[in-house]
Each structure stands twice: as C-alpha cells, then as structure tokens.
Chain A
C-alpha cells in the first residue's frame, strides 16, 4: 500500500495531540515538533508511534535535521523511508 503524506501528517498530528494532551486543532502541521509542545518524553512516544504505525525506526539514529522543520517534512521523510524499505 502506498503511503500518502497527507494521511501521515494527519496521523502524526493526532498522535502529537494525544501525547501532549492538547486538542487536535491546536496542532499545527507547519510548526516544528518543539512548537507543538513535544518534549523529551513525548518525543520518545512519538518515535514509538512511528515505528508501530509505519515500521520506520528512528529510535537508534534519530530524526535527521531536515525532517524536523515541521510535521509535513517529518511525514515526507517517513513516507520516503517507508518506500525505501
């Protein structure tokens, strides 16, 4: 199944809202993880979610800087990694 960046972005926003205990509408896809209230623990939770949901493992190597710009960029990077597998 081909992954759609938009769907990944939406799923990431939902999960970020969950781990930061915010309303989903408060999460901005054009904002960075930091802007959206992610901290060290919720970051780990997010990485676990990405691994569970799309099989992309950032736990060891972390997320590259270009994918940290905003949630869209992260979604694109997840899609790229997932297709590369």
Chain B
C-alpha cells in the first residue's frame, strides 16, 4: 500500500493528552514518553514464532514508523504513515543476564520494541506513549500472542470529521480549574532527568486472596482498588511528604479502573482511561486509612456522578478530541499545573492470552522528575504493584516508604 492511499490516520490508543501537552512528544514516537509491559511467559511460548508473526506485519510496521503532525484548523494530532522512516517494530532475544528490561528506550522510527529474556522467561514490550496507551498495549500483546493472529491487525482506521465543541470539553476544563497550584504538594526533590527506576511487589494468588478478603471484610465489597490508593497515599503522607502546612492537597492526575470496559464499543479507540483527576486533602491522609478510604470513595462517587469520564467515553468519535485541545490551552496558561504528584492506575484483571502468559504488569515512565507512578493489577489471580520513579538525591526516605508499604501488603495489614 502506498502512503498516498492513507495520507494520515488516527491511531488507536494514541495518548492524546501527552501529544497535546507535549511533555516530550515532539512528533516522533521514539521521542515520546515510553512505558513497558512485562509479560512472564510459560514454556509453550516460542520466540521464533513471534519473530515470524512480526515479519508478516508489513503494513503495521510501516504504519508504526510514522510520525505525528497537527492538522489545521483544530490541531488534532494525526498520525502520518512513514514507511521510509524506520522498522516500526524491533524484536530481539537477549541472552545476557540483564533484568527483564525495563529500559524504556526506543530508537528512531520504532514505536514498539520487544525483547525476550529466555533465562527469565520474560517478554518486555516497550511502547511509545504517543502511539499506545496501556489498554492499547495489552490489546497489541493479545493480538501478537493470541489465537486470532492476522497479517493486518484490526486497529487501524481513518480519521473522523472535524470535531465540534460541546459540553464534554467544558466539563473537563471546569475540573482542571479546580486545582489551585499553590496548594498542591510536590515531592521534595525536584527530580532529575535520569532513567526511571521501578520497584515491584508481587503477591501470590493465596497472598492476594487473603489481602482482598481482609479488605472486603473491613471496607465492603469491591473496595480493593480504592483501598490500595488509600494505603499508598497514607503511607506517602507518613513517610515521604514534607511537612509543609501550606500544601494542602495531593494531586492524583489519573486514577483508573480500566477493566470496567470489558467490551469496547469501539475497538479502534481504546484510550479509555477515566480522566478522573483527584485532589486529596492531606489532613484526611494524616487521619488514617479508614477516613482516607471514605474520602476517596466520596471523591470517586462525585466524579462518577458528574458523568465527566462517562461523557468522555460516550461522546461521539469527534467529540473525544475536543477536551484535549482545551486542556492544552489551559496548560499553556498555567504550565506548573501539569506536574502531578502521584499517578495511580489499577487494572482489575487482564485476560490470559492463549495460555502463553502467566503474569503481566505495566511499568510506566514518569515524565516529570517530581512525580511517582503506581501501577497495580491482578493477573490470573496474582497481584502486582509497580512503583515508577526517578532516583532522588536522598533515596533514604523513599526506600523507607517502599519497605513499609510492601510489608503492609505482604502481611495483609488493612
């Protein structure tokens, strides 16, 4: 297929927010904010099979070697095909002892890098966030390892009409205005531009069930993900946050439970994270987990009642793009407000992929130095928690926080 047949194309799972705000995304996927998904594979996985499948993806590879440009007059970022710019997907087997490569680095012209570590039986997928979001990444992995492989994946599509402005954009803008910059806490160290580090905790099926049962007994049914966020924030308040009375709130820019969307209405646009930023009072964090849990549940309920994330989900295809243009304008006026303190993401589950994967978790890269990222999920009954961060000058306080948090989870202390 020639480039002229598809001059431009929207890509599924593109991180519109990051593209608009332009943290690091400068039009090439290799320069965007990457993230990795680690899959621990079973003995039935064969790397040559994967290589063979990828070699058949000629159209997709040309597609992924493209770049982002903004299109007049609405400045929607659009993906332009780029078959002459790079391989699109890199795939290699790594024989060294190097840990399952949570090294979020992509060469130019590459939007997905896959590395197989035979000794650890790990597959590390590094994705350009310009092109994929978390769910999109999982769908891509499922596509590669699942039974219904085709030479052309089902997630390419043509651009929508020019969007029109309606209520959904205004609602989101209103929410963004609620975050008063001076009251939002920042982590103490301004952070560096060094590579992300990842701290991981894995609980076995038995450990997770004990923990989840204890949480549900104390906080009620379906309370686990809110409890996990409450525990994280309370522990941060206790061990890591500075004692600045003027900073009254912790900003959690994303707090997600993506698995509510088991069946996507539109397979092509699976950037379905709930834009549910939370502003959490530090006074409440200091009062302990039960109070924090109640407060978070209230915040979630209010956010759900406002229907903002649902507005986003249910908006027409074109309407989904408008809010990000507005956020972009807002961010340009108030640049400091984009720097969140904590990002939290929770996936309730992830489907087993043809029995080839026994565990899977995400390793997000934090674009700003003074942020922490938390990713939690349950895969096939196992619980994973990943903390993403940049090393600080004084890591002592962070390591103390990490130890206390992991101990509480392992011991099922709720």
Contact = CB atoms under 8 A, between A and B. Distances in A.
Interface in A24-55: 33-34, 37-45, 47-48
Interface residues of A, number: 22
A62 B301 CA distance: 13
Interface string B103-126: 000000000000000000000000
B262 interface: yes
Interface in B259-276: 259-265, 274
B222 A22 contact: no
A21 B265 contact: yes
B221 A62 contact: yes
A22 B274 contact: no
A37 B220 CA distance: 17
B99 to A, nearest CB: 31
A41 B221 contact: no
Contacts of B346: 40
Nearest to B347: A39
B74 interface: no
Interface string B370-388: 0000000000000000000
Contacts of B222: 33-34, 38-40, 43-44
A23 B263 CA distance: 9
Most chain A CB inside 10 Å of its own CB: which residue of B221, B223, B261, B262: B221
Contacts of B304: 41, 44-45, 48
Contacts of A48: 301, 304-305
Interface in A1-39: 19-23, 33-34, 37-39
16 contacts: A19-B260, A20-B260, A20-B263, A21-B265, A22-B263, A39-B222, A39-B225, A40-B223, A40-B224, A40-B346, A41-B260, A41-B274, A41-B300, A44-B297, A47-B301, A63-B221
